Chains A and B, each alone.
Chain A
Amino acid sequence: SQQGEEDPQALSIQEGENATMNCSYKTSINNLQWYRQNSGRGLVHLILIRSNEREKHSGRLRVTLDTSKKSSSLLITASRAADTASYFCATDPLNDYKLSFGAGTTVTVRA
């Protein structure tokens, strides 16, 4: 079973708008990571946030982490057509060597 659950499953926005997706998880984590996947290809790492961090930025990406609620959010600002992809959160548990992935959010950016 998957550790993370993502919401929404799909998102369609206009170019220039912001996209927000959420991830909830169940167990204690070392860190939480976000990945992007374009159309059935490999995953690309976007950002890693450690369990003792609350917010992190990377370019147009902003990630928050609330360990008390076991949830995270990914915000993509000023979206572009090239942001069209599936986005996955992955939790890195405290006492394990695997990443557990959520089901993903499919984002479509309309020109």
Chain B
Amino acid sequence: KAGVTQTPRYLIKTRGQQVTLSCSPISGHRSVSWYQQTPGQGLQFLFEYFSETQRNKGNFPGRFSGRQFSNSRSEMNVSTLELGDSALYLCASSLKGDRGANTEAFFGQGTRLTVV
């Protein structure tokens, strides 16, 4: 079965621009989460979607937004890019429905965003 697919793999943008990253989860997975990974801050949670609903959001400014489509594919958008947004953006999918469910997350290879 195909894994989690993130596109594009690499992206270079200029300060002030906006960017959209895409994530296709494993077939049957309805939960999709996004994480930002930087050398200084480690892996930081951005948001989680389940059946097109955002169930949780991390501590990021409103410039970071996301959505999930009816086929569970997800996109995240960052507007007015800043140099500090340069990071590896990771998407993960899982079967997690209820809070108490014990399920693992499957990660994509990530999108490496560089803001210049």
Chain B residues packing against A (C-beta within 8 Å): 4, 31, 33, 35, 42-45, 48, 50, 55-56, 58, 88, 90, 92, 96, 99-102, 104-110, 112
Contacts and interface: CB of A to CB of B under 8 A. Distances in A.
B99 A99 contact: no
A95 B112 CA distance: 31
18 contacts: A2-B42, A30-B99, A33-B104, A40-B112, A42-B108, A43-B92, A43-B105, A88-B43, A94-B100, A96-B99, A97-B50, A97-B96, A98-B33, A98-B45, A98-B48, A98-B56, A101-B43, A104-B42
Interface size class of A (residues with CB under 8 A): 20 to 34
A40 B99 contact: no
Interface string A53-91: 000000000000000000000000000000000001010
Interface of A: 2, 30-31, 33, 35, 40-45, 48, 50, 88, 90, 92, 94-104
Contacts of B58: 98
A99 B58 CA distance: 11
Top 9 A-B pairs, shortest CB-CB distance: A101-B43, A42-B107, A45-B104, A43-B107, A98-B45, A97-B56, A42-B109, A97-B55, A97-B48
